[in-house]
Amino acid sequence: MSDFDQQPDTIFNTPQQKVASFTFDSAVARVFPDMIKRSVPGYAETVAMSGIIAGRYAQPGSNLYDLGCSLGAVTLAMRHGIQAAGERAAGCRIIGLDNSASMIERAEHYIALDEGNVAVEMVCADILQYPLDNASVTALNFVLQFIAPEQRLTLLSRIAAATLPGGALILSEKICFSTEEQLLQDELHLDFKRANGYSDLEIAQKRSAIENVLIPESEQAHIERLKAAGFRQVIRWYQCFNFVSFLAVK
């Protein structure tokens, strides 16, 4: 088996005396495609549509960022989306950033296997510190929820400031709801994970690991913050249970 072969997610399938906080370490990197496919409803559609959105909003000679790129699925979707856009892809460069060295190592492997011709650079860096500029499209898919709430507006303001007029941000997040709807959405998400083969033990241990790491917010909180950051138009373009994707245009 190659070091880069994708493996099934069995991280939480045996009882753990003390469940450690969730981190994007080498163990998670090895199983990430299986984990996210079985945990995040609508993930494949979110990735594919990120490419289509990138194709519409890419501007010649600009940078496109995939912040918190993990294994580079959205990076690749953006690459092929802007290639299909013809002249808008001229001189574009895609930069994928993640603070997990294990994720970046695997992402570079997958990028190298791809036959796309738009320049791609994968960088191991903290997205809160990395300088952004000349951006036509930025993707921030299922990343903001792992950043401390008090740092979220600062990051989005930096992205907006780096975005060219008419450029766009794709933001995907797990959200929370009013009490009554929250209960139903939680149950539907649990049903989704069970339907994808996760046991109640795996679900419970994963929840313990991620409880204080992933902090969701309401849809309205996201929309208001995106506008406060400097985006003039914000729409929710996709939702599957408690996972949504926004398009914010400057």
Q: Domain 43-176+213-249 has what CATH class?
A: alpha beta
Domain ranges of the chain: 43-176+213-249
Task: Give CA–CA dist 245/240, Å, rounded.
Answer: 9
Q: Could you say which DSSP state residue 243 is in?
A: E
Lowest mean pLDDT among 6-20, 170-184, 219-233, 234-248: 6-20
Task: Give CA–CA dist 57/167, Å, rounded.
Answer: 6
Question: At 3, is the pLDDT very low, low, confident or very high (cuts 50, 70, 90)?
Answer: low
Annotated binding site for S-adenosyl-L-methionine: 43, 68-70, 98-99, 126-127, 141, 207
DSSP 3-state of 38? helix
Annotated binding site: 43, 68-70, 98-99, 126-127, 141, 207
Q: Residue 164's closest CA among 84, 78, 88?
A: 88
Question: At 62, is the pLDDT very low, low, confident or very high (cuts 50, 70, 90)?
Answer: very high
Tell me the pLDDT tens digit for each residue of 75-116.
Answer: 999 999 998 878 878 999 999 999 999 999 999 999 999 988
Q: Residue 50's closest CA among 89, 77, 80?
A: 77
The answer to whether residues 48 and 237 touch, using CB atoms and an 8 Å cutoff, is no
